[in-house]
Amino acid sequence: MTDRTVQSQDGASLERLHDNGDGTFSRVVYVQNPGGGGGGGSLSDTILTDDSGTFFIARDSGTALTYITLSGSPYTPSTNIRPADVPGIAQLHTDNGADGNGITPPTGGAGIRGWLSGIYKAITGNVTIIDAFQAPIVTNWTSATAQNTAVTMVTSGYDLVNVTINPPAGLTGGAISFQVYDGAGWIAVKAARTDSYLTDSTFQLTNSPGFKAWQVPVSGFPQFRIILSSAIVGSGTVVATTIVSSAPDVSIVTAGLDPQSPLPAGTNALGSVITTNGYTPSSAVIGAGTITAATGLGTVTAAATDYIAVLANPTANYLCFQNQHASANIWINPLGPAYASGSYTGQKIPAGGSFVWDARVPVTALHAASDTAGANFFVQVA
């Protein structure tokens, strides 16, 4: 260890720095030995500090080490005694130190690490996501507004755009569209309505008057705009308001389905399953002990194809399906063999319930084309 002699801050004298052996230096203060009787001699004092932040002197008399305040009073140090950064002395602490809390000054830390850890925690600790907004842009469009007039806003660093419009009643034309800019061109984008699961890239102003609102995810796109894609026809003013927000956006896809997208052609079909060519639907609701002609059938000819009878019975009875050949007067149950007139067979219906039955009736096999009387289809509840 080698002590150093340096020029003092005022440049008027020399001061001695003591090598502490750990890469740091302390100023050595020479004081008159009180016990020297004026005969001279000196003590080696080192200025230190502790966790309380107090500067004090460690006095080495050669035989004992005592601690005193800078004013000379006895002092009892707290923990973590270390060399002090004394104003006017270029003293660098290279010890690793310990983490601190806070930054002005950091408490509980030491050295450069203490200061840096305090600053780091102040910057990174308890990060809060702030929902920042740009000032709303309010636009008024009328029939005098040119088609393709646009309202554009910068969305770099933002995630969401809220759009509201208030079209008046009575418009017969006009539409707005939503677009984002990718740095090369404008692209249509879907916007989710706030009052339903519907999405729009273009909205007809004639659809319905009154307030409508959308939320548009724009994360990653530097610009967004609404454009008057079709000129307004009619009186009144369309008020459009746009607000750019930094709030994280929520995907507008619901259960993987976009309700605005059509079903694939040839994959799905809606409608009745008995509307195939060659079948004619008929229905009748009948009471007990009656014989009723199936509604919609009447007299059929030999050229007729199969018929469908949809029959409902609200009481607990037997429901019978029968064909009658007019010339032979023979009753034929479609579900079984031929029976003499007045006989029947059928399906038992549960008490208190109703029953709907689709029965195919093969009438063409009952008579020849020359039989102009044809055949009738009847139902009976026994």
Q: What is the pLDDT of residues 51-87, one digit of tens each?
A: 887 888 888 766 677 888 877 888 888 877 777 655 5
Looking at residue 375, what is its pLDDT?
38
Q: How many other CB atoms are found less than 10 A from the CB of residue 375?
A: 25
d(CA 128, CA 119): 17
Q: Specify which residues 318 forms β-bridges with.
A: 348
Answer whether 258's CB lies under 8 Å from 250's CB.
no
Looking at residue 162, what is its pLDDT?
92
pLDDT band at 264 (very low <50, low <70, confident <90, very high): low
Sequence-ordered strand ranges (E) for 279-362? 281-285, 291-293, 299-300, 307-312, 318-325, 330-332, 338-339, 346-348, 356-361
| Of 177, 184, 180, nearest in space to 159 by CA | 180
Parallel/antiparallel/unpaired status of strands 150-154 and 281-285? unpaired
d(CA 260, CA 254): 12
Position 186 pLDDT exceeds 70:
yes
Parallel/antiparallel/unpaired status of strands 25-32 and 42-49? antiparallel
Instruction: Calculate mean pLDDT across residues 197-218.
Output: 88
pLDDT band at 22 (very low <50, low <70, confident <90, very high): low
d(CA 94, CA 107): 19
* Tokens read off for 264: 């694939």
Position 224 pLDDT exceeds 90:
yes
Side chain identity at residue 290, one-letter code: T
Instruction: Calculate mean pLDDT across residues 200-214.
Output: 89
| Dihedral-angle region of residue 326 (phi above 0 means left; psi in -120 to 50 means alpha; beta otherwise) | alpha
pLDDT band at 243 (very low <50, low <70, confident <90, very high): very high
Q: Is 35 exposed, middle or buried (0-12, 13-18, 19+ CB in 10 A)?
A: exposed
Looking at residue 298, what is its pLDDT?
38
Answer whether 164's CB lies under 8 Å from 178's CB.
no
d(CA 27, CA 61): 16
d(CA 218, CA 103): 38
DSSP-derived 3-state class of residue 37: coil
Looking at residue 85, what is its pLDDT?
57
Looking at residue 48, what is its pLDDT?
79
Looking at residue 109, what is its pLDDT?
67
Instruction: Provide φ and ψ at 347, rounded to 5°.
Output: -115, 130
Instruction: Calculate mean pLDDT across residues 146-153.
Output: 94
pLDDT band at 324 (very low <50, low <70, confident <90, very high): very low
103 vs 59, more confident: 59
- Indicate the class that CATH gives domain 137-245: mainly beta
Position 279 pLDDT exceeds 50:
no
| Of 171, 163, 159, 155, nearest in space to 201 by CA | 163
Answer whether 247's CB lies under 8 Å from 281's CB.
no
In the DSSP assignment, the letter for residue 192 is: E
Looking at residue 47, what is its pLDDT?
79
Distance in angstroms between the alpha carbons of the first and the last residue of the chain: 124
Instruction: Calculate mean pLDDT across residues 347-374.
Output: 41
Q: Where along the chain do the CATH 2.60.120.380 domains lie?
A: 137-245
Q: Which of 95-99, 186-190, 376-380 has the lowest mean pLDDT?
A: 376-380
Global pTM?
0.38
Instruction: Calculate mean pLDDT across residues 171-181.
Output: 94
- C-alpha dihedral sign at 164, 167, 168, 169: negative
Instruction: Calculate mean pLDDT across residues 320-343.
Output: 40
Q: Which of 167-171, 177-181, 191-195, 295-299 has the lowest mean pLDDT?
A: 295-299
> Which of 157-171, 306-320, 322-336 is most confident?
157-171
d(CA 95, CA 22): 8
Looking at residue 130, what is its pLDDT?
58
d(CA 362, CA 305): 7
* Tokens read off for 40: 């001279």
